[in-house]
């Protein structure tokens, strides 16, 4: 899990370094500067990874475009240095920058061919029935639209959408947030985002302590699983598992048996969630409905399930985004404060999506 967090943080840092390296000056040399800065950033990221016995191998990004810009690397790999084992890989990694104006900016990050080799190795040893193989991520695309809401108060809105695809399902993550700072007042949006992402990037360096100056409000955030043929993929896996566990039984595996196994899985999931404390929270009903929705997908009675955090107020309140809070995110006290703010200001909603409305 720690490796996953490090890799995801580093991918975020990659985008930050791109913006920081390019700078604010827009000119006829923008494309070449973007390409140079992007490849320089990859070298800097490799330097950081090297401190943790890993390295980044990549084919240089090549950028094209006149108004909108697209930069593509044919291959990126994160390698364990001492064994030269590949941990994660991306082919045809693409950064697109478009719709750049003084008050708005849109960019996307695409990994059409994603391989999580170190997870494959760890999970497949126990994954006798190929469950992980059908659910593992194979591609990732994220898009973010930013626009200035109020230049006098320094308020920016960011709409983010990420789509992860597997061989049998897709995962969607959607969010709308507002960021406000006196540093954004009367500034072009690119310059404001540079300051914001610079703040986030510096948080990785524990020696740097910045006073709180950014405020963030989450107006909506949701996670959705979609699949129109989940039962088709799961049925033979469940059948194989059941028959191996009941070799002495002569009972024929049927739809009724399949539904019985899925129901037991739902109950087991509920017990696990209860043991972790999730079912003692104000979100208990929403979490159980989400588990039920996955069960309905597995039995062919739904094509998707969506879980969302919805502000209790018409407009979500701002929270102080302090460096101390983010640097101490692993501490139990900090986590309790964050959960308390979430529980007090957001409701958890679950929606099960039947086939006819998908």
Q: What is the pLDDT of residues 283-340, one digit of tens each?
A: 888 888 998 999 999 999 999 999 999 999 888 888 876 656 666 666 777 777 777 8
Per-residue pLDDT tens digits for 59-85: 999 988 877 788 999 999 988 888 888
Please check the confidence at residue 159 and state whether its pLDDT lies above 80: yes
Please report the pLDDT score of residue 10 as a whole number: 53
Contact 105, 90 (CB under 8 A): no
- Facing residues of 319 across strands? 216
- Say how far apart CA 89 and CA 87 lie, in whole Å: 7
Higher per-residue confidence, 282 vs 71: 71
Token duo for residue 196: 């914001």
**Is pLDDT of 201 > 80?**
no
Is pLDDT above 90 for 161?
A: yes
Residue 188 has phi, psi (to 5 degrees) of -65, 150
β-strand partners of 218: 177
- Alpha-carbon distances, residue 356 vs 4, 62, 353 (angstroms): 37, 44, 8
pLDDT: is 60 or 29 the higher one? 60
For all residues of the chain together, what is the average pLDDT? 80
- Indicate whether 222 pLDDT > 90: yes
Q: How confident is the model at residue 208 (pLDDT cuts 50, 70, 90)?
A: very low
pLDDT at 95 over 80: yes
Q: Is the pLDDT of residue 178 over 70?
A: yes
Asked whether the predicted pLDDT for residue 148 surpasses 90, the reply is: yes
Question: Lowest mean pLDDT: which of 11-20, 96-105, 299-308, 326-335?
Answer: 11-20
> Which is nearest to 293 in space by CA: 351, 355, 232, 235?
351
**12-26, 89-103, 303-317 — which one is most confidently predicted on average?**
303-317
pLDDT at 176 over 80: yes
């Amino acid at each position: 899990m720690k490796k996953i967090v490090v890799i995801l943080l580093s991918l975020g840092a990659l985008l930050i370094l791109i913006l920081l390296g390019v700078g604010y000056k827009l000119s006829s040399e923008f494309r070449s500067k973007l390409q140079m800065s992007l490849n320089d950033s990859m070298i800097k990221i490799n330097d950081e990874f090297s401190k943790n016995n890993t390295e980044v191998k990549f084919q240089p990004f090549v950028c094209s475009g006149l108004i909108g810009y697209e930069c593509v690397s044919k291959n990126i790999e994160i390698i364990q240095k001492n064994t030269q084992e590949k941990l994660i890989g991306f082919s045809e990694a693409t950064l697109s920058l478009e719709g750049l104006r003084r008050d708005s900016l849109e960019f996307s990050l695409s990994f059409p061919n994603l391989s999580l080799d170190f997870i494959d190795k760890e999970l497949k040893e126990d994954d006798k029935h190929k469950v992980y193989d059908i659910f593992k991520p194979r591609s990732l695309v994220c898009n973010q639209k930013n626009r200035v809401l109020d230049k006098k108060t320094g308020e920016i809105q960011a709409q983010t959408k990420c789509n992860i695809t597997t061989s049998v399902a897709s995962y969607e993550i959607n969010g709308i947030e507002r960021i406000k700072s006196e540093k954004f007042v009367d500034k072009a949006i690119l310059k404001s985002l540079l300051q914001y992402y610079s703040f986030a990037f510096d948080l990785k360096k524990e020696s740097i302590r910045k006073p709180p100056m950014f405020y963030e409000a989450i107006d909506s955030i949701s996670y959705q699983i979609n699949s129109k043929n989940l039962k088709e993929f799961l049925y033979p896996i469940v059948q194989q598992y059941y028959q191996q566990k009941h070799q002495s039984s002569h009972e024929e595996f049927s739809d009724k048996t399949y539904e019985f196994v899925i129901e037991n899985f739902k109950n087991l999931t509920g017990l696990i969630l209860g043991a972790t404390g999730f079912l003692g929270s104000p979100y208990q009903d929403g979490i159980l409905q989400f588990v039920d929705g996955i069960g309905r997908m597995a039995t062919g009675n739904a094509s998707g399930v969506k879980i969302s955090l919805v502000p209790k107020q018409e407009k979500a309140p701002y929270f102080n985004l302090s460096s101390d809070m983010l640097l101490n995110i692993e501490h139990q006290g900090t986590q309790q404060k964050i959960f308390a703010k979430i529980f007090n200001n957001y409701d958890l909603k679950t929606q099960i999506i039947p086939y006819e409305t998908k």
